[in-house]
Chains A and B, each alone.
Chain A
Amino acid sequence: MDYKLFLPEIYLLLTALVFFCQSLWKSSARLNQEIALILSGIGIIITFYSINLSGEIFYRSYRIDLFSQVFKCLISLGLFLVIMLGRKLKSIEDKYQPEFFMFLSISSLGLMMMVSSVELLTLFIAMELSSYSLYILIPIRKEINVGKMEAAIKYILFGAAATGIMLFGMSYIFGMTQSTYLADILKKMPELLSQPVAVIGLFFIMCGFFFKLAVVPFHFWTPDVYEGAANITVSFIATMPKLAAVALLLRFAGLAGAGAADLIQVLVLLAAVSMTFGNLAALVQKDLKRLLAYSSIAHAGYVMLGALTMNTIGFAAAVYHITGYLLMNLACFLVLCSVSRDGENVSVSDLSGLYRRSPLLALTLAVGAFALAGIPPTAGFTGKFFLFTAALSRGHLALVIIAAVNTAVSIFYYLNIVRFAYGKDPGELPEVPLSFSNRLLNYGLITAIILMGALPTLFIELAKTACETIIT
């Protein structure tokens, strides 16, 4: 076996081990934070180094191709950003910090394994590895009266239910094809698609990813988990599992191909309901994290536009949009984590007069919110534009019009955040001091969001090449 192929995963495992050792004795919190930052920084280099590798290991159940490597790069990048933006770990007690980083690494490891799995059981194990770490991470929080236990239990219960449905779907597919290997399933899929059981099987498997992605009707956990978990944990949950979920959703959509008309119908329905519900519910939210939760439900709907096209350009658009979403969502969470002084939840009115309290943060928030709303020249606009084009080219006119109306609706609450930051008086609210690394991260995210939006060619071509490998 070529260990080089498995290098990013091995590296994350080692990172987790380092923090396991750190958790055995009393270690300084600051040291742990620095270690985490450095290790995740090196992780990015290692993953990017392995981006062009390809091959199959573990008896063909684990495939390394451009598609998986692109997602692994995004995951390692996301992990680094999450660790960096929550650097002081205000809401995690010092003694739990090594464990916190350990489970963060293990969860990322699970996500990386997910995107490379091409065998149903491997996929299941990878997914559980990532989920179980999250089950533990959610209740790790200093504050007491914030419903963290409710959040954790909701996440476990809904997660377990979704996993159950997914396993059920896997059993159907296995029953029909006598194989758990995607490559074998792929060969038999075209003739099976006329049978309802295959469509149901595939759809049930997708339900597992819908749960991660918070697509209606698997979204119930989202607002409560966002509200209950620590800010930094949420910035992880809000972005990283979604990356992997989109990757897997695309893999399985590619498995079905354009012949699966019934499946596409269901996806269209879910996309429309998801974005409409998410945007309407977000309109009335007062807590910033709950607002972002509903916005994430809406964005899951937008991403589905790409998945249901069943062609390369649509898939590439979905990959592009979820990458842009990672950046713009993290920009919002960066502001949220900085404004929250002791790790408490932040309401929209806490942002009042942010442009006087910290002009840079206000700018980051504006760029992030405008990007989420889809205003050019940000990545959010370009992503939406690609998704709309891809979906419309497959004749989903009604769905695209619903998405466009939704975009108009969503402006209201995104603009509302900006309105608080720029239009209101700060009153008694204190200034927000920023450290050097925090400033750097602000500038980095703003630049990345705008550059990615204005010059998308490089990434969209990469995504196209990557998606060609998973299309039937």
Chain B
Amino acid sequence: MDFLIPNQLNYPILSTLIFLPLTGAFVLFLIRDETAAKIWTLVVSLVVFALSLPLYFNFDPATYKYQFAEHSPWIPAFNINYTLGIDGISLFLVLLSTLLIPICILASWKYIEKRVKEFLFCLLLMETACVGVFSALDFVLFYIFWEAMLVPMYLLIAVWGGPEKVYASFKFFLYTMAGSVFLMVAMIALYLTAGTFSIPELMTHTYSFKFQFWIFLAFGIAFAIKVPMAPFHTWLPAAHVEAPTAGSVLLASILLKMGTYGFVRFCLPITPQASVYFAPYVLFMSIISIIYGGYVALGQTDMKRLIAYSSVAHMGFVTLGTFLFNKHGLEGAVIQMINHGITTGALFLCVGIIYERSHSRLIKDNSGISKIMPVYIGFFGFFCLSSMAFPGTNSFVGELLVLIGAFTDNRLIGALSIPGVVLAAAYMLRLLQKIAWGGKGNSHLSDMNLREIVYLAPLAVFVLWIGFAPAPFLDMIHATVNHLVEQVQAADAVALVR
């Protein structure tokens, strides 16, 4: 248990973050009035966000160990424990989750008209599952949150989604579930080999290469579907387009991160040799995702679909950085996870805002509105610049680090991923150009109201903050990433000696 640093605070902060939304969700059943339910949910999620801030302020950036840890036996018959803890990688993902839920609630304030309470219930369940996934240190606990998240997400799409919601939600569920059953078998196989479900303990164990090979494959399929990497990405555009705004935001900002988080948390430290062995293939798939995603985004007429494909490209950068196994690449990957969560989430919120007014997501129906909705175009343009990694925005920092990592590792990989950056500029500028200046514009649209500004502003602040002063964020990740790189390289060295 020397990987866990006992909770520095005098209350179980992670459990609170997990179970407070759940409790809040059940209280919703007692509230009859819909407005009251909305206010209650907003208050709960804001309290959760406020409670999550001590994680940042009390985080010790000097150690790679798991902090704020909680540990108690859960199912002794199978040596399953209730273990929670976070390190530099999961810290910001937890914070991102707690930040986005109140934003999602604000964004759905007017948009969701039917079954409001059930909608809010699903959002709070999502929060529980998200925080749980990123802070679980027991594999079974992780798996339960990982799978449990599918149900509220499925309902968000299937009940409150667009015209093709049934098809989209079905595909989403089937795809992700099909990937996860192998994760379960791999998890059990690891347990039977190492005798524990504790993730930190599993990392210290050494496994034969053949065993790692199969475990990596099982992990890889589950995570690659979730990321999603081409060619497993086909569920994503459908799900994104049909989901309500809040669903799209959660899907893009948090669910996709679970895939890359899985690679970083499980594949690299538990199966390091297999990771090195498979790295060329994963890098190849990442580059394909970057270029293919960007290329397809270039031809889209639907705003949401365009952003969905841009997600595929951006997540390609994350997996690219992860499998370079050097410090810059991994740091870039981790910070890029956060950046994608902020920027793409904000872009989906922007699409949601215009959709509420024009009831269309097509670019041609929403073009030329720069004079009609100046504030909106201000925000939208800003996030578009961030998405194409304009210097001074958050994505620039992330992509730059990944590219530095790529060029240090192998010039060819670096050179191959450059077109992705150019493509990003092309499709984002095209989108921005058409929306802002591309036609006469529908003069009936009203500009953003205060509520909408309130929920977009924090995201804009983070875009600039990470863009100009990434140090407060990168400092937290250094120790963890360094340790991870050492873990992989040590195992690699062992393999070479043999």
List residues of chain A with CB under 8 Å of any chain B CB.
313, 316, 355, 359, 366, 370, 375-377, 381, 385-386, 388-389, 392-393, 397, 400-401, 404-405, 407-408, 411-412, 415-416, 418-419, 422-424, 456-457, 460-461, 464
Please judge, given known A-B contacts A376-B143, A400-B185, whether A415 and B155 are in contact too, CB under 8 Å: no
Q: Which of B134-173 contact A (CB under 8 A)?
A: 140, 143-144, 147-148, 150-151, 154-155, 158-159, 165-166, 169-170, 173
Does B351 lie at the interface of the complex (its beta carbon under 8 Å from any beta carbon of A)? no
Segment at the A interface, from B187-195, B282-290, B489-497: B187-195
Contact pattern, B 89-125, Cβ under 8 Å of A = 1, otherwise 0:
0000000000000000000000000000010000000
Return B148 CB to nearest CB of chain A, in Å: 5
Please judge, given known A-B contacts A389-B191, A408-B177, A423-B166, whether A381 and B77 are in contact too, CB under 8 Å: no
B155/A422 in contact, CB under 8 A: yes
A selection of 24 A-B contacts at a CB cut-off of 8 Å is: A316-B77, A366-B151, A375-B148, A375-B150, A385-B188, A388-B188, A389-B78, A389-B192, A400-B185, A404-B185, A405-B181, A407-B181, A408-B178, A411-B173, A412-B174, A415-B170, A415-B173, A416-B170, A419-B166, A422-B158, A423-B169, A457-B76, A460-B75, A461-B77
Bound CA–CA A316/B182 (angstroms)? 24
Q: Which of B326-368 contact A (CB under 8 A)?
A: none
Q: For the complex of A and B, list the 6 residue pairs with the smallest distance between their C-beta atoms, beginning with the closest.
A: A376-B144, A423-B166, A404-B181, A408-B178, A423-B158, A408-B181
Return A222 CB to nearest CB of chain B, in Å: 25
Name the residue in B140, B143, B154, B191 with the highest tally of chain A Cβ atoms < 10 Å from its Cβ.
B154
Bound CA–CA A388/B150 (angstroms)? 21
Bound CA–CA A186/B290 (angstroms)? 65
Partner of B159, one of A401, A416, A422: A422
Bound CA–CA A418/B165 (angstroms)? 13
**Nearest B residue (CB) for A464:** B77
Contact pattern, B 30-73, Cβ under 8 Å of A = 1, otherwise 0:
00000000000000000000000000000000000000000000
Return A148 CB to nearest CB of chain B, in Å: 35
Name the residue in B74, B166, B181 with the highest tally of chain A Cβ atoms < 10 Å from its Cβ.
B181
B174/A404 in contact, CB under 8 A: no
Please judge, given known A-B contacts A389-B192, A419-B170, A456-B75, whether A377 and B185 are in contact too, CB under 8 Å: no
Residues of A within 8 Å of B74, CB to CB, are: 457
Does B400 lie at the interface of the complex (its beta carbon under 8 Å from any beta carbon of A)? no
Return B186 CB to nearest CB of chain A, in Å: 10
Q: Which secondary structure dominates where chain B touches chain A?
A: helix
Does B426 lie at the interface of the complex (its beta carbon under 8 Å from any beta carbon of A)? no
**Nearest B residue (CB) for A407:** B181
Please judge, given known A-B contacts A393-B192, A408-B181, A411-B173, whether A457 and B75 are in contact too, CB under 8 Å: yes
**Nearest B residue (CB) for A391:** B188
Given contacts A389-B192, A419-B158, A457-B77, 10 further A-B contacts (CB under 8 A): A381-B144, A392-B185, A400-B185, A404-B181, A404-B182, A404-B184, A408-B178, A418-B154, A422-B155, A424-B166
Bound CA–CA A386/B177 (angstroms)? 19
Return A57 CB to nearest CB of chain B, in Å: 32
Bound CA–CA A422/B119 (angstroms)? 13
Return B320 CB to nearest CB of chain A, in Å: 29
Residues of A within 8 Å of B154, CB to CB, are: 415, 418
Partner of B147, one of A381, A424, A460: A381
Residues of B within 8 Å of A393, CB to CB, are: 192
Residues of B within 8 Å of A397, CB to CB, are: 189
Bound CA–CA A370/B77 (angstroms)? 25
Residues of A within 8 Å of B147, CB to CB, are: 375-376, 381
Bound CA–CA A377/B77 (angstroms)? 18
Return B337 CB to nearest CB of chain A, in Å: 24
Bound CA–CA A405/B182 (angstroms)? 8
A377/B78 in contact, CB under 8 A: no
Bound CA–CA A412/B175 (angstroms)? 10
Residues of A within 8 Å of B77, CB to CB, are: 313, 316, 457, 460-461, 464
**Nearest B residue (CB) for A456:** B75
